[in-house]
């Protein structure tokens, strides 16, 4: 009889709260934009679904209606009843407590019904117990249950939960995160999550020391440029030197042809004398070119060899004077010789 009386009382409460929602009323195109009208429509659909035994779908409608109109205590009451039927006992228990707190001043009928369900559900609740031993209480430790932070005051306290899988995570600065998982039965179960001491997070390796400027090799591009310059000077010098030698040989040959062009006695003004004069001029021209080309070729080739030799050496110390080349002209061929000196 008491169960029947409770059911009749609940029916009277819901009917009084929503007298016009036995059937969903038509919603015009303009009314659909109003959140309150939409909340009423969702509530009416939830009632129909509950009557049809479609509990999960009904709970979704009631929850949608309540989110649109959080002040509607009657909607919250129906949502709590739906969640209880869906065996989400901890969720329903919390919602009944909320309904009781809202109804205490103005709706004693709702207050009585909500308190009855709270009393009936409490011994049936499944709970988790989060245990954090002293060894695990690192500085800045944060513990969460299903993504919701569990404050330190709630550690080592039975926390009502719905049945199903639950996750406890522990994090702290400078520590490796830990994740604990366990399944809880729908009713009357109790599971303990013991948070272990978190391991220290690995420290990042320090960056390698920077190489000193003194030990760094010269840039590859600069060294390559010096080698290219040295090769170019050496090749060009050798070519000019070879040309000078060739002109020297030509000058000697032309000088030998002077006497052959006009054998003694050579008569001045004759054709043979004119040919002899031309041979003499050629010999002098060839000799002049040889005198210029040979020293220039020697200098260029010597400079190229020097650049090649010094291109791979480290820069000299600033405490010592840099070596330098000092050309000193001496006799070479027709009166000039090249001498390279390297004072230190």
The reply to whether 167 falls in a domain is yes
* pLDDT less than 70: residues of the chain: 1-33, 211-223, 251, 254, 257-267, 269-273, 311-344
Helix/strand/coil (H/E/C) assignment for every residue in 241-300: HHHHHHHHHHHHHHHHHHHHHCCCCCCCCCHHHHHHHHHHHHHHHHHHHHHHHHHHHHHH
Q: What is the CATH number of the domain that holds 184?
A: 2.60.40
Q: Is residue 166 located within the same domain as residue 231?
A: no
Domain end position, chosen among 103, 123, 143: 123
For the entire predicted model, the pTM comes to 0.51
pLDDT of residue 262: 65
Q: What is the CATH number of the domain that holds 50?
A: 1.25.40.10
Q: At a CB cut-off of 8 Å and minimum separation 6, what does 162 contact?
A: 87, 88, 89, 90, 91, 126, 184, 186
Which range of residues forms the domain containing residue 251? 223-341
The number of CA neighbours under 13 Å toward the Cβ of 151 is 2
The reply to whether 211 falls in a domain is no
pLDDT of residue 314: 54
pLDDT of residue 19: 36
Q: Is residue 8 located within the same domain as residue 111?
A: yes
The reply to whether 9 falls in a domain is yes
pLDDT tens column, 269-301: 666 667 777 777 877 777 777 787 788 878 877
Number of domains comprising the chain: 3
The reply to whether 8 falls in a domain is yes
């Amino acid at each position: 009889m008491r169960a029947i009386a409770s059911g009749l009382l609940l029916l009277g409460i819901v009917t009084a709260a929503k007298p016009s929602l036995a059937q969903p009323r038509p919603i015009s195109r303009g009314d659909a934009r109003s959140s309150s009208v939409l909340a009423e429509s969702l509530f009416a659909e939830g009632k129909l679904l509950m009557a049809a035994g479609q509990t999960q779908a009904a709970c979704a409608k009631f929850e949608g209606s309540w989110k649109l109109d959080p002040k509607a205590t009657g909607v919250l009451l129906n949502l709590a009843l739906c969640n209880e039927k869906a065996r989400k006992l901890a969720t329903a228990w919390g919602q009944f407590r909320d309904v009781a707190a809202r109804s205490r001043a103005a709706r004693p009928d709702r207050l009585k019904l909500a308190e009855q369900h709270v009393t009936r559900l409490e011994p049936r609740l499944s709970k988790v117990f989060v245990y954090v031993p002293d060894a695990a209480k690192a500085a800045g430790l944060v513990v969460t249950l299903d993504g919701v932070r569990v404050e330190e005051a709630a550690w080592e306290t039975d926390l009502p939960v719905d049945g199903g899988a639950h996750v406890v995570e522990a994090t702290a600065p400078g520590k490796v995160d830990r994740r604990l998982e366990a399944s809880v039965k729908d009713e009357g179960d109790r599971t303990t999550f013991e948070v272990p001491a978190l391991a220290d997070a690995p420290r990042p390796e320090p960056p390698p020391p920077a190489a000193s400027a003194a030990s760094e090799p010269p840039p590859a591009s600069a060294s390559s440029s010096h080698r290219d310059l040295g090769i170019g000077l050496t090749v060009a010098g050798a070519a000019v030197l070879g040309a000078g030698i060739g002109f020297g040989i030509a000058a000697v040959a032309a000088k030998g042809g002077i006497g052959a062009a006009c054998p003694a006695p050579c008569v001045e003004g004759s054709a043979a004398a004119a040919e002899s004069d031309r041979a003499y001029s050629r010999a002098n021209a060839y000799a002049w070119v040889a005198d210029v080309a040979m020293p220039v070729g020697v200098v260029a080739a010597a400079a190229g060899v020097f650049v090649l030799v010094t291109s791979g050496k480290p820069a000299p110390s600033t405490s010592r004077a840099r070596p330098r080349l000092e050309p000193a002209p001496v006799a070479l061929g027709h009166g000039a010789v090249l001498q390279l000196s390297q004072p230190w």
